[in-house]
Amino acid sequence: MQRNAVRWGLLALFVDGPKYGYQLRTELDTRTGGSWAVNVGQIYTTLDRLVRDGFVATAGSDDQGRELYALTERGRAALADWYLTPVTETERPRNELAIKLAMAAQDPSVDITIVVQQQRTESMRQLRDYTDLRRQANEDVDLTWSMFLDHLIFALEGELRWLDHVEGTVLRRRYTRPASASTSAPAPGSKSASFPAEAADTAESGRARR
């Protein structure tokens, strides 16, 4: 998970009043349905940075002696600016799946069909799980959770379309090369000669299974 998202997500939690450290983790977990894997250490490290930057400040303690923190005017202004600033997704090129498939596409020893199918199966499993959760969600009770699930569902649907595209693109480039790119042309009727059609059928069957 991007560090910047944790920072702003925590800052937004202070809008409705002072919070103590562990309370931030609990509320973040509740609002995101546990889908953000943020440990307590990361919460406190981020909180220290927010204090350092003047976005939150200590605000006494509660009746159990836990130190409270509250949003400052500077933090409120920064949060308002964040809401109005488009997200550029600078971390997107570092996506592990994108890197994995980019590397596999350039390695002739890797069967890209198997790599894509493994990921497609997992992505479809996640999509089913999130879709089931969305059906159970009541947006009148928890709008934040419903919106978060919608985001995950749309992202997975896009990922599945992209996997189909990657599989078809790589197979076409690998098996429909100009004759000059190969030391010898495959014999007519051989498996190599018929592979482009078989590859296209494989990619199409992956889409049909969805």
List average pLDDT for each run of 10 residues in the chain, which is 210 residues long.
76 93 88 75 93 96 94 95 77 71 82 91 94 88 85 94 92 67 44 45 54
Output the pTM of the full model. 0.60
| CATH number for the domain that contains residue 64 | 1.10.10.10
In a domain, 89, yes or no: no
If you count them, how many residues does the chain have?
Answer: 210
- Point out the domain boundary residue: 84, 106, 122: 84
Question: Could you give phi then psi for residue 109, rounded to 5 degrees?
Answer: -85, -10
In a domain, 73, yes or no: yes
For the record, the structure tokens of 70 come out as 């509250």
Instruction: Report whether 56 contacts 75 (CB < 8 A).
Output: yes
In a domain, 90, yes or no: no
- Point out the domain boundary residue: 28, 58, 84: 84
Same domain, 66 and 99: no
Same domain, 29 and 108: no
- Point out the domain boundary residue: 84, 115, 146: 84
pLDDT of residue 108: 83
pLDDT of residue 93: 55
In a domain, 203, yes or no: yes
Instruction: Report whether 185 contacts 179 (CB < 8 A).
Output: yes
Rounded Cα–Cα distance for residues 44 and 200 (Å): 51
Domains of the chain: total? 2
| Half-sphere CA count of 5, side-chain side, radius 13 A | 13
Same domain, 123 and 73: no
Q: Give me the DSSP letters along 111-177.
A: -HHHHHHHHHHHHHHHHHHHHHHHHH--TTT-HHHHHHHHHHHHHHHHHHHHHHHHHHHHHHHHHS-
Same domain, 190 and 119: yes
pLDDT of residue 3: 57
Measured between alpha carbons, how far is residue 128 from residues 131, 156, 200 in Å? 5, 10, 26
Range of the domain at 15: 3-84
Same domain, 112 and 166: yes
